[in-house]
């Protein structure tokens, strides 16, 4: 019988080496992260029966630090959104300390909420993407789900750092994840984006306000900031993301691996039919959209790239006013685990895709912005490469003695 949660599971006896900074830490991953010999289908028929030939760079680093990767969980098609993603459910039954979920528009932060975990997305370019089967090269990062900010920090210390094989990485200036959280410079001011706040409904806004108040109680001053272009984040992410995805998915041609439609008469037909059968409706729509910008509206794509730059500059200016920016991680609707249109996809991730478009680090904290039985998450975004202040913030406001999170 097919496992409904896992695509691969190591036998329970396989333990770590017992040494290293992550000795004994149990990590779940998704099957879009290559582990030699493990199936790596990335939730897609386009990669049917594909088995990884080599370990991904961050898998090498996790192993080297003594972590145990206990299995990979079912995931959404090519990691676009969370439809079909089983990370949260697996964390509920599997005694894992952390999970790694690729964060392209907020998936790791959103999935963490569903598990009641913290979700952390690092700055772009500090973790190697070698061996990550992604869709949007300029926006994706490995995201870490954990209950403990210390574990997030330790995992980041292990998996970040230079890798000569990934040329899109920084070559220097990596954040230091080895200093203890208490030593991190404390967050003094947090900015709330009124232009984002105004898009929430009254109850969502109230839940978010309550969470922000929790920060104020810790002595963080809250400042309201204007960002009139905020609604552009999802639009620009959508244009650039779909263009990159359309190119990235070009390799799924059924020539070397993956599903090949039977009974076709020539290669052109083989291509078309195989791709037709391999992609689901939402991915297909997104790839079509990317191809549209590439082939028929390139100027709009060029505009989007220019606006991306402007949004990045504007965001950086906001960090003159505040140490971090606060937003909810998500709105109550739609449910990112049940998406079937690109429109719904961007509604689900409209508050989280900003960090991916700008490459900035972000963390989602559970249990602070709740609404009925739903957790909207409190999301904090830090300036590029200021990653460690986010787990430090998490530690500050989620002290186990206050009972709102595990140690």
Q: For residue 171, which of 181, 161, 180, 179 has the smallest C-alpha distance?
A: 161
What DSSP designation does 371 have? E
Member of 3, 14, 37, 53 binding another protein (CB under 8 A): 53
Smallest distance, another protein to C-beta of residue 357, A:
13
C-alpha–C-alpha distance, residues 276 and 252, integer Å: 11
Member of 183, 217, 256, 320 binding another protein (CB under 8 A): 256
What DSSP designation does 132 have? B
C-alpha–C-alpha distance, residues 274 and 43, integer Å: 16
Among 53-61, 103-111, 364-372, 375-383, the segment contacting another protein (CB under 8 A): 53-61
C-alpha–C-alpha distance, residues 134 and 244, integer Å: 10
C-alpha–C-alpha distance, residues 362 and 211, integer Å: 16
Would you say 102 or 364 has its CB closer to another protein?
Answer: 102
Query: Tokens standing for 296?
Result: 């028929």
Among 63-71, 100-108, 111-119, 294-302, the segment contacting another protein (CB under 8 A): 294-302
Does residue 295 bind another protein (CB under 8 A)?
Answer: yes
Would you say 147 or 275 has its CB closer to another protein?
Answer: 275
> What would you measure as the largest C-alpha separation in the chain, in angstroms?
70
Would you say 137 or 367 has its CB closer to another protein?
Answer: 137
Smallest distance, another protein to C-beta of residue 99, A:
19
Q: What pairing do the DSSP bridges indicate for beta strands 378-381 and 362-365?
A: antiparallel
Would you say 297 or 407 has its CB closer to another protein?
Answer: 297
Member of 244, 350, 375, 387 binding another protein (CB under 8 A): 244
Partners of 341 in the β-ladder: none
Q: Name 250's Cβ contacts closer than 8 Å, sequence gap at least 6.
A: none
Does residue 138 bind another protein (CB under 8 A)?
Answer: yes
Does residue 393 bind another protein (CB under 8 A)?
Answer: no
Does residue 56 bind another protein (CB under 8 A)?
Answer: yes
Member of 129, 237, 259, 395 binding another protein (CB under 8 A): 129
Member of 199, 247, 374, 404 binding another protein (CB under 8 A): 247
Does residue 253 bind another protein (CB under 8 A)?
Answer: yes
Question: What string of DSSP letters covers 271-335?
Answer: HHHHHHHHS-HHHHHHHHHHHHHHHT-HHHHHHHHHHHHHHHHHHHHHTTT-SEEEEES--S-S-
Query: 157-176: which residues touch another protein (CB under 8 A)?
Result: 164-168
Query: Would you say 151 and 118 are in contact if contact means Cβ atoms under 8 Å apart?
Result: no
Would you say 15 or 251 has its CB closer to another protein?
Answer: 251
- Burial call 163-179: b when 16+ CB within 10 Å, e when fewer: beebeebbeeebbebee
Can you point out the beta strands (E) in 221-271?
221-225
Smallest distance, another protein to C-beta of residue 288, A:
14
Query: 178-207: which residues touch another protein (CB under 8 A)?
Result: none
Does residue 288 bind another protein (CB under 8 A)?
Answer: no
Smallest distance, another protein to C-beta of residue 169, A:
9
Smallest distance, another protein to C-beta of residue 267, A:
5
C-alpha–C-alpha distance, residues 144 and 150, integer Å: 12
The residues binding another protein (CB under 8 A) are 34, 40, 42, 47, 50, 52-54, 56, 129-133, 137-138, 164-168, 243-244, 246-247, 249-251, 253, 255-257, 267, 271, 294-295, 298, 301, 305
């Amino acid at each position: 019988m097919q496992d409904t949660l896992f695509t691969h599971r190591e036998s329970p006896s396989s333990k770590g080496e017992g040494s290293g900074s992550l000795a004994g830490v149990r990590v779940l991953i998704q099957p879009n992260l290559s582990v030699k010999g493990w199936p790596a289908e990335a939730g897609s028929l386009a990669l049917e029966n594909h088995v990884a030939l080599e370990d991904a760079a961050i898998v090498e680093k996790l192993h080297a630090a003594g972590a145990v990767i206990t299995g990979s969980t079912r995931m959404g098609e090519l990691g676009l959104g969370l439809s079909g993603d089983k990370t949260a459910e697996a964390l509920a039954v599997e005694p894992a300390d952390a999970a790694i979920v690729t964060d392209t528009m907020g998936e790791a932060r959103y999935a963490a909420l569903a598990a009641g975990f913290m979700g952390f997305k690092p700055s772009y370019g500090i973790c190697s993407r070698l061996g990550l089967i992604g869709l949007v090269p300029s926006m994706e990062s490995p995201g870490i789900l954990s209950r403990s900010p210390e574990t997030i920090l330790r995992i980041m210390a292990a998996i970040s750092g230079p890798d000569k094989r990934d040329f899109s990485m920084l070559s220097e200036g990596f954040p230091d994840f080895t200093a203890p959280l208490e030593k991190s410079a404390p967050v003094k001011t947090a900015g709330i984006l009124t232009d984002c706040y105004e898009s929430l409904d009254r109850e969502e806004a109230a839940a978010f306000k309550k969470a922000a108040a929790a920060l104020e109680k810790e002595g963080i001053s809250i400042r309201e900031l204007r960002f009139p272009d905020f609604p552009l984040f999802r639009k620009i992410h959508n244009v650039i993301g779909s263009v990159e995805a359309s190119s990235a998915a070009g390799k799924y041609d059924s020539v070397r691996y993956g599903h090949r439609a039977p009974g076709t008469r020539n290669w052109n037909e083989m291509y078309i039919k195989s791709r037709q059968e391999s992609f689901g409706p939402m991915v297909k729509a997104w790839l079509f959209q990317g191809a549209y910008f590439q082939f028929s509206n390139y100027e709009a794509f060029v505009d989007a790239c220019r606006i991306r730059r402007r949004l990045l500059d504007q965001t950086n200016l906001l960090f003159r006013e505040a140490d971090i920016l606060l937003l909810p991680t998500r709105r109550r609707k739609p449910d990112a685990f049940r998406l079937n249109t690109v429109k719904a996809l961007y509604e689900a991730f409209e508050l989280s895709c900003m960090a991916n478009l700008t490459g900035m680090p972000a963390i989602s904290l559970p249990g602070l912005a709740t609404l009925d039985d739903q957790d909207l998450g409190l999301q904090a975004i830090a300036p590029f490469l200021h990653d460690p202040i986010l787990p430090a913030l998490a530690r500050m406001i989620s002290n186990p003695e206050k009972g709102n999170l595990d140690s």
